[in-house]
Amino acid sequence: MRRPLIAGNWKMHFTVPEGLEYALRLRHALEPFADREDIVVLPPSLMLWEIANVLRGCPLEVGAQNASWEDQGPFTGEIAPKMLAGWCHYLLIGHSERRQLFNETDEQLNRKVQAAFRNGLKVVLALGETLEEHELGRTQEVITRQLSAALYDIDVKRAADLTIAYEPVWAIGTGRAATPEYANETMGLIRRLLVGRFEQLGTDMRILYGGSVTPANARSLMDQPEIDGALVGGASLKQTDFTEIVRAAAEVDRPA
Ligand code: PGA
């Protein structure tokens, strides 16, 4: 059975005091659900260490939204996965905002995945097609390329540390989530690619859906057999909304 995972991507929101106060509130609200699912918060890097301290000793985990592929050196403004090692649990790699606004390439993302694993971090690898690619019927081709490029030369033994987040770019921040059926179908393709690559381990890997997940649609999305959780942007910034999404994941009946 795949354990659900809900990750809240705060993007570039909150000041440091606001983020710390919010993390404390999440801790109290979400702890009761943590025996049934993994819950991860992805704050801005500036407050990540402090938030990891606020959440220490509780089952909520933290992740970084981005990190370099290098371990150290003259890379002004970057943070290294090596700096996250030992206390930060996850690294988000390949979010469409990084791909589009910061021009991150498939090759760079592969180097980031390698660097994350080298430093003992778990990876949430985000991928998905743009609206144009979607309308041109190129979804399958794009996803196949993104997945195989990002996982190039990755040791099969790392499968357990890898979660995929399928995020159609046209659904991110638009209020227009993919239908549960469409998401499930595309994630079925991702599942087949994972099994092709990792064999049996590929069936145990989690695939999340991301893109306008809200309390209103979370349950119907997560009722789908291939949807093992969610990567949540906007709705992760409100405690009540995020709690409802976490609750929805806890309530889904999964085959043993
Ligand atoms: P959204 O963002 O939930 O605001 O659509 C999702 C994401 O960017 O991961």
Per-residue pLDDT tens over the stretch 65-92: 999 999 999 999 999 999 999 999 999 9
Which atom, in ligand 1's list, is nearest to the CA of 231? 9
Q: 15 alpha carbon to ligand 1 midpoint, in Å?
A: 19
State how far the alpha carbon of 81 is from the alpha carbons of 45, 58, 68, 113, 130, in Å. Answer: 11, 23, 7, 10, 28
Q: Could you give the CA distance from residue 13 to residue 35 in angstroms, rounded to a whole number?
A: 28
Q: Could you give the CA distance from residue 237 to residue 142 in angstroms, rounded to a whole number?
A: 30
Give the number of domains in the chain: 1
pLDDT digits over 221-243, tens only? Answer: 999 999 999 999 999 999 999 99
How would you class 243 by CB atoms within 10 Å of its CB: exposed for 0-12, middle for 13-18, buried for 19 or more?
Answer: middle
- Per DSSP (E only), the strands in the chain are 5-9, 38-42, 61-64, 90-93, 122-127, 162-166, 207-210, 229-232
Asked whether residue 21 is domain-assigned, the answer is: yes
- By alpha-carbon position, which residue is closest to atom 7 of ligand 1? 233
Which CATH number do you get for residue 31?
A: 3.20.20.70
pLDDT digits over 4-57, tens only? Answer: 999 999 999 999 999 999 999 999 999 999 999 999 999 999 999 999 999 999
Q: 101 alpha carbon to ligand 1 midpoint, in Å?
A: 15
Which atom, in ligand 1's list, is nearest to the CA of 171? 5
Q: 200 alpha carbon to ligand 1 midpoint, in Å?
A: 30
pTM, 2 dp: 0.97
Structural domain for 60, as ranges = 5-251
Which atom, in ligand 1's list, is nearest to the CA of 173? 5
